[in-house]
Amino acid sequence: MPVNTENMVKVFGRPESLTDARFTYCPGCHHGILTRIIAKAIDELGIAERTVTIAPVGCSVFAYLWYKCDAVQASHGRASAVATGLKRANKDLIVISYQGDGDFASIGTAESIHAANRGENITVIFVNNQIYGMTGGEMAPTTLVGQRTTTTPDGRDPAYFGYPIRFSELIATLDAPVYVTRQALYDTRRIMDAEKAIKKAISYQVEGKGYSLVEVLSTCPTNWHMSPLEANRHVAEVVTEAFPLGDLVDRGG
Amino acid sequence: MGERKLMRGNEVIAEAAIRAGCECYFAYPITPQAELLEHMARNMPRLGRTFVQAESEIGAINMLYGAAAAGVRAMTSSSSPGISLKQEGISYIAGSNLPAVIVNIMRGGPGLGDIAPAQGDYFQATKGGGHGDYRMIVLGPSTVPEAGELTILAFDLADKYRVPVMILADGMLGQMMEPVELPDPVDPATLPKKDWALTGAKGRDPNIILSFDLDPEVLKQMNLVLQEKYRKIEDNEARYEEYQTDDADIVIAAYGTVARIAKTVVRRARAEGIKLGLFRPITLWPFPYEPLRELASRVKTVLTVEMSAGQMWEDVRLAVAERAETPFYGEMGGVVTTPKKILSEVRKYAR
Ligand SMILES: Cc1ncc(C[n+]2csc(CCOP(=O)(O)OP(=O)(O)O)c2C)c(N)n1
Ligand code: SF4
Ligand SMILES: [Mg+2]
């Protein structure tokens, strides 16, 4: 029977600002979902023609391939400083810095904190997968207590390696940031929430309100040695205990 | 032309950068280049331009990378230890074909060293202090007015070749005051447009700036593009000064502050009948090998004098080969050499 499409409404489609390049991410990795929802926000805000995305060092190093936008690849950890330079040079640009947890919360600690503290009018997407994905699964600053990685083979012992760092809470103590939030992608509801948060963060930049940070709890099925489904469940049940979801600061409204 | 004023080297570099149309400046404080930062802090915001005191030299060089990618003229400055921190960023700037200006007002090293003038960063500047096969144009001013001229040249060369350009001076030049006449300011809006810059992909394909490709064949091609550019720079941009070399038996090879002191030595040596000349590289990379080689075949001695253990000396020996003897005299640790000391060295080689 032919399908009558007359009264159908399109509820899902490929975002306009996403290129046809194939993702380099492993199956089930949240980097892919996140890339898509950023593109959707760029579409909805109509800013593709003035957006510059920053690709970090990490599994998302190829992020310059995904968007039909200008892009720059930054050295490991320094994306927030590069974002500062871009935005200060041309305030009409919409600058989106995409950074992993090793990138943003370890090697880039100084650049991350000080870009936030200066209240740079940029948006940082901080992908917390509690691991160094690209280099093969070493401990990240966000690795959970007891979590096994290639450099914590017996599990992260806080007496020896310290505790997982809650970087967004740290940023939230500063006066300048307008929006700091932690989101997740393990089910449809969380994805929709994350979409809203990312759109809000970028719209604050468009309105000139200042610095936003969207931390996204993400999976690394490959280095967690879990199936994508197990990884989703792990985020929902375990990771969110250490990293509670929700807004930490919202001064933009 | 602008008015004639008595100015410090650091201030002249800052003011020349502003007049060259530098729109963004990022730096972290360090002696002996603090006046440079202060001049920028006073003047850039007033002109509606960007001055950011960065959280570190690493922050500053990466801000520079971002601003250069956005297509504006941009600069950072520091002194030796801070320049060490910038090396990864300089390598990225070179690898990404970005124009940027970096000022190093050298001080004594290694390590924390001291805050006195030195020339110990020549290797780092000219031989690639960061990783990978890259080069950086390095300009070595020897007077305060020349520091201004070379700052303007630095921006022009950076844009022309899309390379990082370093101004390599020392603390003495940074602190010294001399009368200078600076050119009229350039309006940044009148500078040639950079079609590769990140200005937003409006009505064109996206511009991507990177120094990266996982495919060795592609990365090799990217390297070849750099190398081709470097050959062009070597062929066209070597600059140097010869002083009283026409009839010389001995020449001093020196750059920067030492070359300035050496000019006094040339005059004193000639007063006592020694035919002394000076060969002064202005571009330290590309090093003026050919002119020095040619000169070396006409003299007996090429005496290299540096405020280091002998770094430029290696390039001098490469140029001279066996054509003349190539002794060295140097001071280290921020000890500034004097005309008297250099002259007594020169006398050793006079007939
Ligand atoms: C200066 C420097 N140090 C180390 C590396 C090696 N390195 C590449 S990616 C990476 C870790 C990235 O982890 P993260 O930021 O968490 O991103 P993920 O891959 O997990 O998304 C490291 C250490 C590098 N490229 N540069
Ligand atoms: S290694 Fe982990 S973070 Fe990297 S793409 Fe694969 S699943 Fe994603
Ligand atoms: Mg990670």
pLDDT averaged per 10 residues in sequence order, chain B, 351 residues: 86 98 98 95 98 98 98 98 98 98 97 96 97 98 98 98 98 96 95 97 98 97 98 98 98 98 98 98 98 98 98 98 97 95 97 73
pLDDT at A10: 83
How far does the centroid of ligand 3 lie from the alpha carbon of residue A207, in Å? 30
User: In this predicted model, what pLDDT tens digit does every residue of A136-185 receive, in sequence order?
Assistant: 999 999 999 999 999 999 999 999 999 999 999 999 999 999 999 999 99
Question: Torsions phi, psi of B22, nearest 5?
Answer: -65, 120
Distance from CA of A24 to the nearest CA of B (A): 12
Q: B55 and A64: CB-CB below 8 Å? A: no
Q: According to the CATH classification, is domain B5-200+223-236 in 2.70.98.10?
A: no
* C-alpha span between B54 and B27 (Å, rounded): 6
> Which residue in A89, A111, A110 sits closest to A97, CA to CA?
A111
Which ligand ends up closest to the CA of A223?
2
For domain A31-250, the CATH architecture is 3-Layer(aba) Sandwich (3.40)
Are B104 and B139 contacting, i.e. CB atoms less than 8 angstroms apart? no
Render B269-323 in DSSP notation, one character per residue. HHHTT--EEEEEESEEES--HHHHHHHHTT-SEEEEEESSSSSHHHHHHHHHTTS
Q: How confident is the model over A76-105, as a mean pLDDT?
A: 98
3-state secondary structure chain A: CCCCCCCCCCCCCCCCCECCCCCCCCCCCHHHHHHHHHHHHHHHHCCHHHEEEEECCCHHHHHHHCECCEEEECCCCCHHHHHHHHHHHCCCCEEEEEEEHHHHHHHCHHHHHHHHHCCCCCEEEEEECCCECCCCCECCCCCCCCCCECCECCCCCHHHHCCCCCHHHHHHCCCCCCEEEEEECCCHHHHHHHHHHHHHHHHHHHCCCCCEEEEEECCCHHHHCCCHHHHHHHHHHHHHHHCCCEEEEECCC
Please list the residues that pair with B78 across neighbouring strands: B104
Structure tokens at B280: 């002064």
Hey, where are the domains in chain A? Answer: 31-250
Q: From the centroid of its chain, how far is CA A159? A: 29
Ligand number nearest to the C-alpha of A98: 1
Whole-number mean pLDDT of chain A?
A: 97
Please report the residues numbered 76 through 95 in chain A whose beta carbons come closer than 8 angstroms to any beta carbon of chain B.
78, 81-90, 92-93
Q: Just give the CATH number of B240-348.
A: 3.40.50.920
Q: Report the candidate in B11, B27, B8, B28 with the shortest Cα–Cα distance to residue B19.
A: B11
CB of A217 closer than 8 Å to CB of A245: yes
Q: Assess whether pLDDT exceeds 80 at residue A3.
A: no
Contact A120, A93 (CB under 8 A): no
Domain boundaries, given as residue ranges, for chain B? 5-200+223-236, 240-348
Among the bound ligands, name the one nearest to the CA of residue A109.
1
CB contact under 8 A, B202 and A69: no
CB A61 within 8 A of CB B213: no
Amino acid at position B253, single letter:
A
Name, in order, each residue with C-beta under 8 angstroms of B268's C-beta and a sequence gap of 6 or more.
Answer: B339, B343
C-alpha distances (whole Å) from A27 to each of A12, A30, A70, B19, B76 are: 21, 9, 27, 54, 43
Report chain B residues whose CB lies below 8 A from the CB of A75.
Answer: 62, 65, 88-89, 92
β-strands A179-184, A123-128 pairing: unpaired
Q: What is the mean pLDDT of residues A14-18?
A: 95
- Nearest chain B residue to A90 by CA distance is B70
- List the beta bridge partners of residue B322: none
Other C-beta atoms lying within 10 Å of the C-beta of residue A24 = 16
Mean pLDDT value across chain B: 97
Ligand 2 binding pocket includes A29 (Cβ within 6 Å): yes
Alpha carbon of A43 to ligand 1 centroid (Å) = 29
Element (H, E) at B16: helix B9-19
Rounded distance between C-alpha atoms, residue B245 and residue B254, angstroms: 14
Q: Select from A75, A89, A92 the Cβ nearest to the Cβ of B92.
A: A75
What pLDDT, on a 0 to 100 scale, did the predictor assign at position A118?
A: 98
Choose, out of B22, B55, B72, B205, the residue to mutate when testing the contact with A (most A CBs < 10 Å).
B55
A174 touches chain B (CB under 8 A): no
Compare all CA atoms of chain B with the CA of A57 and give the residue at the minimum distance.
B212
For residue B59, what is the DSSP state?
A: H
DSSP B194: -
Q: Say if A55 is an interface residue toward chain B (CB within 8 Å).
A: yes
pLDDT of A1 reads 61
Residue B285: strand pairing partners: B138
Query: In this complex, how many residue pairs, one in chain A and one in chain B, have their CB atoms less than 8 Å apart?
Result: 135
A128 lines ligand 2 (CB under 6 A): no
A236 lines ligand 2 (CB under 6 A): no
CA A29–ligand 2 middle distance (angstroms): 6
Give the per-residue pLDDT at B2: 63
Measured from the CB, is residue A129 less than 6 Å from ligand 2? yes
Question: Which residue do the tokens 């969207």 mark?
Answer: A214
Instruction: Please return the burial class of A127, using the count of CB atoms within 10 Å of its CB with bins 0-12, 13-18 and 19+.
Output: buried
Q: With H, G, I as helix, E, B as strand and everything else as coil, classify residue B241.
A: strand
Residue of A nearest to B64 (CA): A85
Same fold across B5-200+223-236 and B240-348: yes
* B216 C-alpha to ligand 3 centroid (Å): 25
pLDDT of residue B351: 73
Shortest Cα distance, chain A CAs vs residue B300, angstroms: 49
3-state secondary structure B242-271: EECCCCCCEEEECCHHHHHHHHHHHHHHHH
Return the ligand 1 atom nearest residue A31 CA.
21
d(CA A194, CA A177): 18
Compute the distance between CA of residue A142 and CA of residue A103 in angstroms, rounded to an integer: 11
In whole angstroms, what is the distance from residue B281 CA to residue B304 CA? 12
Q: Rounded distance, CA B238 to CA A80, Å?
A: 37
Q: How confident is the model at residue A5, as a pLDDT?
A: 75
Closest CA to B307 of B118, B122, B115: B118
